Homo-oligomer: A and B are copies of this chain.
Amino acid sequence: MASVPVSAAFASDNAAPAHPAALDALARANDGPAPSYGDDAVTAQAADALREAFDSPGADVLYAFTGTAANIIALASAVQPWHEILCSDVAHVLLDEAGGPVRLSGAQLTRLPSVDGLIAIDELDRRVARRGPVHHSQPRIVTITQSTENGRVWQAPDIKGFVDHAHDLGLLVHVDGSRVANAIAAQQVSPIDAVGDADIITVGGTKNGMLFGDAILVRRPEHFDGIAFVQKQIGHLASKHRYVAAQFLAFLTDDLWLQTAAHANAMARRLAAGLEERGFALASPVEANEVFVRLDPDAHDRLSRSYTVHQPDLDEPVWRLVCSWATTSEDVDGALAALR
């Protein structure tokens, strides 16, 4: 009997294929020569669309090919090597970018305790107390993730309070928004309400359904003076720039980016409900498109025969299943069936 290949359907939202609208956008943009490095018409339109989506008329817009790069460009252009970057203890920038943010910035990256990536406000107060003396790294920016690495959503009033308090303490705020569309769709708020008054936001395209590409929305350009140089220095200024911009333009049109995210969220809820019905415990509330479920070895064994799943913390028997724009009800039901 032939073995069935293991499916990547729940491995990550970046294991999904690209949405047809992304390929269509590439084809439309592929029309004769065009100025390179962002001086083309599509790039200008996409920037306007992103500024409008986030009610940020004064913002600058840049792109990176990956979310890791978008985070690094944002953080490295915010700090000097004697600054300190604050992040949660489950942050992608801390655990899953191979130390890139530290290498590029030269700055210390300090983990704050969190609940699933949600950081309590008073953690910030504790850190800024050490400011001043030349012996210590100086806290300069805090980065939070929306929705978080553990599939949680910062609620609009909470993120507003957090960002405003950080500003009161003289800290800049970066939002790692590789899944920000999922957080917006989950709350049904406007994009800007989902990120508060953050100074710089990375807006995920890859996990949202594009082939590649994450945008960087620089809401307070005066604090990110050399950001275009940082982008260039690590090779993320695309020469054929229209292809990344065209995808963003297509996804921002008619809120496609929020529709793909809403679908992914819905699939995650369906999956979570099915798991709970079958008696499996969720390790974190399912608020966006990721499901973290506690599995005994037998259950994990059955599931992993059909689906690749990821164990974020090797000390915990918790497994992650991610839904995407491309996840179908049949996929969800298949995973639940595999667990039976």
Contact = CB atoms under 8 A, between A and B. Distances in A.
Contacts of A200: none
A284 B136 CA distance: 23
A252 interface: no
Contacts of A30: 17-18, 23, 211
Interface stretch (A224-232, A262-270, A271-279): A224-232
Contacts of A7: 33
Contacts of A207: 239
A34 interface: yes
B240 A18 contact: yes
A145 to B, nearest CB: 16
Contact of A206 (B69, B226, B240): B240
Copy total for this chain: 4
A98 B106 CA distance: 11
Interface string A79-108: 011111000000000111111101110111
A26 interface: yes
Given A15-B36, A23-B27, A35-B15, A65 B212 contact: yes
Interface stretch (A47-55, A127-135, A180-188): A127-135
Contacts of A231: 134
Contact of A106 (B64, B96, B106): B106
Given A23-B23, A97-B135, A212-B238, 16 more contacts: A7-B33, A8-B33, A18-B26, A18-B240, A26-B211, A33-B326, A81-B102, A82-B232, A84-B99, A98-B229, A99-B108, A102-B106, A134-B228, A134-B229, A207-B239, A212-B239
Interface of A: 7-9, 11-12, 14-18, 23, 26-27, 30-37, 64-70, 72, 80-84, 94-100, 102-104, 106-109, 111, 126, 129-130, 134-138, 206-207, 211-212, 226, 228-240, 243, 308, 314-315, 326
